Every structure is written in C-alpha cells, then in structure tokens.
Structure 1
Amino acid sequence: MVQILITGANRGLGLEFVRQYLDRGEKVVATFRENNDISDLEELQRKYPDFLTLVPMNITSSDSRTKAFTEVKSKISGLDILINNAGMTGKRELKFGDLHADHMLEVFNVNAISAVLVAEQFSQLFKENSKIINISSWMGSISARENTTNFSYCASKAALNMFTKLLSNSLRDKGIIVIPIHPGWVKTRMGTQSAPIEQKDSISGMIQIIDSLTLEETGRFYDWQGNELAW
C-alpha cells in the first residue's frame, strides 16, 4: 500500500487525486485550510474510514505545518508520495502598471515558497524512492512565455520550478524523486469551466506518470500526458 499526502485536497485537482488514489486502495492524508468546506472529503472518509486521514494545514504558516507534521507522523510510518497541490491564481493583473507588491508576495508564498517548506517539514517521513510532485504550470515556463498578463502567477510557477529543480538536486543522493508537473488547462474553479480537460482525465494521466517515475527522471518538467516541457 502506498502512503500519500496531498495538500489543497478539499476541492479541484486535489480532491480528484484523493478520489482516484482511494479507489485503487492507497492510504491518503488529505490536508486543507481550516474553515474551508471539506464536505466532499468527509463523505470520502465515511466511505474509506481506514484509508483516508483528514488533517488541517495552512501551508503558509510555520506553526500549522509543524502541527500537521506531528499529527501525520503519529498516524503513518512514512510517505511514499507528497503532492504539493495547494495553490492560487490570484488577481489576474491585466497589464504592466496594475501590479501590487502585497498581492505578488502572497501568490509567491502560496505557490512557490510554501511548497518547498512543506517538503522540508515532512522530509523526515521520506524514504528511498519517495516522490515529491509539485503541481506547476506551463505558464511557469520562461522560454514559452509570450503573454503580458498574469505576472504573479507565471513568475510564482517559474519560482516553483526552480525550487523543484534544486530539491531534485538536493535529494537525488537519497534516492528521492522530485518533479514539477503541468496538469493541463482543467475544468476547476481555478481553471474555469471553459477549460478543455476534465479533472478525472488530468489526474489519471498524472498518476500514471507518478507511478512510472524513476530517479532518472528526477528534476524534469512534464505535463499530464508525459510530454517533457521546456523550462
């Protein structure tokens, strides 16, 4: 049985990750911000009481990360997979001149800084062949960018990609695999209903990639269909 921790698991891609991993018999720890609606997670917990653990965690809070780690450590023996899924789009800055420092820092904190701090916090539970999966975006690809909007989101995902690369370099000798992955433009509250990809298809594609990862792929940037993307 694989043991998996998923952040931002109360809705969207995180919730679909939880569903699909539970459906195949894995043990899942689902984290979420306190005061968020977790009714879907609670329904899944009733269905899978021995396989799903719900743990509140504000990924931007050091105290909350520490408290969550202590709770998780008391309930599972180790982590096979950490999926840093929690994120935000933030306000879509329309053009240069609409930028606000406080907002930009918030997006960077949620999308990039907190992901690497969560990985560091839970690193005691990793073992050889554990995998850290950071949900990134092709919008964080510097070489592919031609748009003039979404300053904070694009830059934060580029920063997440760099953190992921550095993590992969740092953990390679321990046999831990680390990649960023682009889920595609998916029908979620963040992606909107205009998106062409269904959640179940994106998640099943990413799970197939996660299953097949070896140390040889660590530090590479993939999309949900297994295509390697340019930084």
Structure 2
Amino acid sequence: MNKTVLITGANRGVGLALAVAYLEAGWQVFATCRDIASADGLTRRQDVFPNLTIAELDVTDHQAVMHLAQSMEMVNLDLLINNAGYYGPKDYGFGNTDAQEWRKVFEINTIAPLKIAEAFYPQLKQGTPGVLACLSSKVGSMAENTSGGGYIYRSSKAALNSVVKSLSNDLLPEGIISIALHPGWVQTEMGGPDALIDSQTSALGLKKVIDNLTPADSGLFMDYQGNYLPW
C-alpha cells in the first residue's frame, strides 16, 4: 500500500524538491502552496504524477488549515512535513529590528507548524503512526550561534525547535515521531546563490534521514546528512 505525505510550501525550493522525491518514490503526495496560479513547477508535475494532489493554503490562516484537515479526514498520513517558511528582512542589524516583520516570521515559522500539527494529528495517528518533520535551521541552534545578528529568523527557528521538543513529549507515547531538520544551506530564493548545495541534494538527504528515523530520534535536531545538531 502506498504511503502518504503532506508537504507545506511545496511550490519551489526544498519543498518542491521534497514533493518530487516522494512522488518518484511512489508516495501519495498532498502538496500545499499559497498560490496555485504561480506554482508552475508544482502544477506541471500533475501531468506526470497522478499521485499528486495540490491544495492552495496560507499556513497562517488557521481556519483554512482546519478546513483542509477536515477535507482530508479519511486520509491516513504516514508523514507530515512542515516546510513552509519565511526568512524576513536581511542585513538589518542590531537596533533596526522590524517588529511587524518579526511577528510575520513567527506566524509562518513557529505558530503555523504547531497549528498544522494539531489539525492533522488525527490523520498522523492513523498512519503507522506517522512522522512529523519540521524544517528548522542550524541558525536556530543556541550552541551554533557564535556570530550574533539574525534576530528574527534565528529566534523563530529556535522557538520552532522548542515546539518540536514539546510535540515529541506529547505525541511519542502514541508512536508519532517528531523531528526538527536542518536542510543545509540550499541554493533557493531564501538561501541565495552562494549556498553550498542544491535543493535536490537537500531533499534526497532529508528523505533518507526521515526514512531511517526511529522513536529514539523523536525530539531531536538533525541535518540532511543525518548528523545530530546541538540545541
């Protein structure tokens, strides 16, 4: 029986590469994006993969999230990947933090993954039970922060890591594995052209890590190569 995954923010970058990786592996893929009309890379895959379903979703619209979950109530999810993310301003430095943008980044990077986990918990519980994977970032690690700055994005991912840790404590007793994953520095709109790896390398690495997760990994922070990262 085919396995099923839900991936948010799947219109480009790592999210799109993850969708393709799971489609090519024969999974049933539910992929969300904010605007289907501008998600050419995703929509053209429908001609090749009948196992792809696309849904329009703003992850910060909690009512829309609940509506999507209700429309998928008969779906058993083996895997949920909270991939949708937002970097926010760059090069602003201490003394120039935009509080409004900070709130927006937190809404997308930290609050939305938890609300999505809550909404799709019944489907994940029915899956083997399932895996809940949240794309974090190494810059959210306290131990790795030796350069300062990046207040907005760093704090949103550090907070996401805390959410994952709590999810693990709450859901592992029911068999659901919760994990925070660092995709690497990827050549995407967010990562920029100087990044070290392409989105396909990241996605295939992440998939391999997810494929090999055990309950002992729940609540941990890993990179796309399977290395454990410090909080």
TM-score between both structures, scaled by the size of structure 1? 0.95
Asked if 1:9 is matched to 2:7, the reply is: no
Q: In 2, Cα distance between the equivalents of 1:97 and 1:164?
A: 30
Task: Report deviation, 1:124.
Answer: 1.1
Match of 1:100 among 68, 89, 98: 98
Q: In 2, Cα distance between the equivalents of 1:61 and 1:176?
A: 25
The residue matched to 1:153 in structure 2 has which SS?
A: helix
Partner of 1:66: 66
Q: Let me know the Cα RMSD of the aligned residues.
A: 1.2
Q: In 2, Cα distance between the equivalents of 1:27 and 1:17?
A: 12
Asked if 1:124 is matched to 2:122, the reply is: yes
Partner of 2:38: 37
Task: Report deviation, 1:185.
Answer: 0.2
Residue 59 and residue 36 in structure 1: after superposition, are their counterparts in 2 closer, same or farther (change >3 A)?
farther
Partner of 1:137: 137
Match of 1:90 among 88, 91, 111: 88
Equivalent position amino acid for 1:204 in 2? L
The residue matched to 1:111 in structure 2 has which SS?
A: helix
Q: Which runs of 4+ in 1 moved over 3 A?
A: none
Equivalent position amino acid for 1:188 in 2? T
In terms of mean alpha carbon deviation, does 105-114 or 34-43 score higher? Answer: 34-43
Q: Structure 1, residues 75-116: CA drift from partner, whole Å, max 9, x if none?
A: x52100000000011002532110122111111111011111
Partner of 1:217: 217
Matching of residues 140-159 of structure 1 within 5 Å: 140-159=140-159
Residue 203 and residue 103 in structure 1: after superposition, are their counterparts in 2 closer, same or farther (change >3 A)?
same
Q: In 1, Cα distance between the equivalents of 2:10 and 2:72?
A: 15
Q: In 1, Cα distance between the equivalents of 2:171 and 2:36?
A: 34
Partner of 1:78: 76
The residue matched to 1:146 in structure 2 has which SS?
A: coil
Q: In 2, Cα distance between the equivalents of 1:57 and 1:22?
A: 20
Equivalent position amino acid for 1:26 in 2? W
Task: Report deviation, 1:72.
Answer: 2.6
Task: Report deviation, 1:191.
Answer: 0.5
1:168 and 1:219 in contact (8 A); partners too: yes
2:36 and 2:56 in contact (8 A); partners too: no
Matching of residues 194-209 of structure 1 within 5 Å: 194-209=194-209
Query: How many residues are treated as equivalent by the alignment?
Result: 228
Equivalent position amino acid for 1:99 in 2? T
Structure 1 runs not aligned, ≥5 long: none
Task: Report deviation, 1:36.
Answer: 5.7
1:205 and 1:224 in contact (8 A); partners too: yes
In terms of mean alpha carbon deviation, does 111-120 or 60-69 score higher? Answer: 60-69
Partner of 2:181: 181
Q: In 1, Cα distance between the equivalents of 2:37 and 2:75?
A: 27
Match of 2:111 among 99, 110, 113: 113
Partner of 2:29: 28
TM-score between both structures, scaled by the size of structure 2? 0.95
1:132 and 1:179 in contact (8 A); partners too: yes
The residue matched to 1:83 in structure 2 has which SS?
A: strand
Task: Report deviation, 1:71.
Answer: 2.5
Q: Structure 1, residues 124-146: CA drift from partner, whole Å, max 9, x if none?
A: 10124300000000000011102
Q: In 2, Cα distance between the equivalents of 1:225 and 1:35?
A: 31
